[in-house]
Amino acid sequence: MTAELSYKEVKKTVFKIPLHQLMIGVLVAVVFYFVQGMPSAYAAFAGASISTLGSLVFASIVFLSPVREQRQIKSRMVTGELFKIITVVVLFYIAIVVLELALLPLLLGFVATFFTFWVALLTAFK
């Protein structure tokens, strides 16, 4: 059994996850650059950025102001997840409809960083 993590340690870990997502996003974009060229690389990085920004929105809402009670943390997590979903939907709309980015690289960039998010959570808090 692992020792219980402090609030400060959890906060630090949750804000590191978007950094890892961004690194994976750059890697996916570089692969697309060499395989399909710059437009696909741009789309892949945009997809990765969507996931990364969603994670940052969640972390910011949950952890940026002091918390006093467990109930308050739960409420912020629900609010954070709601705003994360809204952020992701709006950014996908912009990427697909406004910027007209290539769909496959966009989705693969998003999926790679979304997978990174879950792997990081599962390994950081075991």
Within 10 Å of residue 103's Cβ, how many Cβ atoms?
12
Residues 6+ apart with CB under 8 A from 104: 40, 43
Give the DSSP H/E element, type plus range, for residue 11.
helix 7-36
User: Would you state the structure tokens that stand for residue 79, as one six-digit string?
Assistant: 């609010």
Nearest to 105 by CA among 49, 21, 22, 23: 49
6-64 residue pLDDT tens: 767 777 777 888 888 899 999 999 999 999 999 999 999 999 999 999 999 988 888 88
Asked whether the beta carbons of 89 and 65 are under 8 A apart, the reply is no
**Tell me, what's the pLDDT at 121?**
72
When comparing pLDDT for 62 and 107, which is higher? 107
58-103 residue pLDDT tens: 888 888 877 767 788 788 889 999 999 999 999 999 999 999 999 9
The residue written with tokens 């918390």 in the block is 67
